[in-house]
Amino acid sequence: MEPVDLLERCYPGRRAESKRHILRCALALFNQQGIEATTIDIIRAESQMSVGAIYHHFENKEGLVAALYMTALDDQARLRDSYLGAVTSTREWVHALVFSYVDWVVSQPDWARFQYQARFAVARSSFNERLAEANLARNAALKKWFSDPAHQQDLQDLPFELIPSLIIGSAESYCRAWLSARVKRNPEAYRQQLAEAAWRAVGAGE
């Protein structure tokens, strides 16, 4: 979708070059070998960076996994917010959430694969609280939108914490199946159907 590399967007400039290089190598290794099987020494050998340099940037392996995971979430949110900036109605908002999710996964399959496998690892790590705080800030605009009485009238009476799962759940399920080659058709082929399913799940109807 965009010619600029994800890491170049999130860590721009020459000063971040070594950080980007370590992240890029670690991402490939985690996807190839799994998070548990990939050690700092393997990352050091692949990146040809010193262990000290890796620890300087990321503290430890947990920090490296968390940095990759939160970078993926930030980039996903960046695309989501760019889609949401062009909509006005609640239905368009729901559609934009699904469209941006599908389009990000299709454009960043390696990052999406990592994101799925890293979710549990980060949640049980010492970076869990930092992730929770980042998610609150990242999703503040969503909560504000769905809490607005003008938009609530377009929605079913649902707890806010349930709404994101109802909107993204089907898209996430299909994207995961596509990334693992359990289904062949690109998720973009079904983005409209997935968006309509999301709207039926949360919209108040006619």
Q: Read off the pTM.
A: 0.90
Tokens (6 digits) for 196 = 């309509």
What was the pLDDT predicted at 146?
A: 80
Query: For every one of its 206 residues, what pLDDT tens digit does the chain have, with 9 covering 90 and above?
Result: 344 589 998 899 988 899 999 999 999 999 999 999 999 999 999 999 998 999 999 989 999 999 999 999 999 999 999 999 988 899 999 999 999 999 999 999 999 999 999 988 888 888 888 888 888 888 887 888 888 888 889 999 988 889 989 999 999 999 999 999 999 999 999 999 999 999 999 998 75
In angstroms, the CA 9 to CA 125 distance is 26
Q: Please, which residues have CB within 8 angstroms of residue 120's CB and are 6 or more apart in sequence?
A: none
Cα 45 to Cα 25, 28, 40, 49, 59: the distances in Å are 10, 13, 9, 7, 18
pLDDT at residue 3 in the model:
41
Q: What pLDDT is recorded for position 130?
A: 85
